[in-house]
Structure 1
């Protein structure tokens, strides 16, 4: 109780430094939480596109279907390959566009037989498509991988940028906590010296400073989770209203990410307070 009570008092003794540390941590944790949710959501979108990614190889007349199936099934990147006959393709086309039902009896089926591939490694879609183009009997290849490849590139770049940004923000928060604790130590330098002379342990003396650092960062972390979660829920709800098929994170996902942010906040608060008080207690 002594550490908790003194931690609160030290925050009130230096309101300007405490507020500066609090708002620095609040900005850092809000960005960390919100950007983390966005990247996690983008990763789910990419994974969903990768699961649905399919490569279509259009066959010419006289193509040796059995030989092509045997060769393609042996490729390590390919998880599944199936033949869609031109009759099946036409039936699917009529199912998707019912107004073609009457026209299909008036003209010869123009659609080719098609091999449809699902890949074990979606990253290899471009290489698989190039290999398919070189096979005898394959007249054309089509795949919807351009969008997925772009999203994967955006995701990779966003991860790198976020790691750099988060590292800078967290370092800024750590040093801000250390500066606030240093001010508290300096203001009580004489009292701390007397406490050491009468036998108080360094851990006992450091307790209030650790509590001060934890209060500042945990309070900022909690507000950041509430604000960032509300912002994400609002944006994701609006997005699903426009694009219902886009996956969004559940409340459980938001809670798990929020707990991780709070643990990080506690670690930074305690770590910054410990480092600052330990360094300055040596001088005392």
Structure 2
């Protein structure tokens, strides 16, 4: 697929980006095995050269937002409720969004002026399986229509209204469903990272509706799109599916336990079929078109490492 350069972005090579930070990192680069996803390599070099400079840039943005808040307080002569800085992370299935989100959460929390960093995934805002089945869209899980967008928008609106304690629903990848009676509580955060495939998606307003169109991304102060070539994404998805046979799928309680004893050939066939029938159409129709709405695009090479970045001009 041809990916043309887009004028509002500055393209930065990996080597140039790696020189943007001289912060000490040894105390941050630990327990990397707890941060990366399955079949997603995460090295000390990747954290040091890509994510540490990114955390420095984001720290500058957050600091500027905090200073603007203080200026507004001074101007009004009253205390304006503090609201969190919200970062959205989008991208395809298997591209490594979750790894990016976890690493950034770790690094951003190390800065003294914003130690409370929450991470929320939009999986919890999927409709429960029973509703997806009722609507006949179980095979479109992850597509825009499978999410309770109204609930997600309300969650973000509550955060940006300055509410001290806000609940987000939780999702179980083991059960492949939203957990009915469990919530994630986000309390007085400085930063909230919101990660999901379609967080930069826009939806047209229903014809004749008096309500204004409000998008999830309207609440973002900064957004990141994790990008890779289609052929690499497909291969990463297949490799991850095959690895899951001996990890998550091997649990008898797993929704996908039926795949645990497949051969390599059978696994690849099923994974490729799922990719071509579900994940690739979602990527092409819904996810990829939102790429140029991001503040920053992380462009990955075929080894899962970032090779260049596109930063929106300001």
Q: TM-score range by the shorter chain?
A: under 0.3
Normalization by structure 1: what TM-score? 0.25
Higher helix fraction: Structure 1 or Structure 2?
Answer: 1
Between 1 and 2, higher relative CO (CA 8 Å, sep ≥ 6) is seen in 1
Greater Rg over alpha carbons, structure:
1
Higher strand fraction: Structure 1 or Structure 2?
Answer: 2
Normalization by structure 2: what TM-score? 0.23
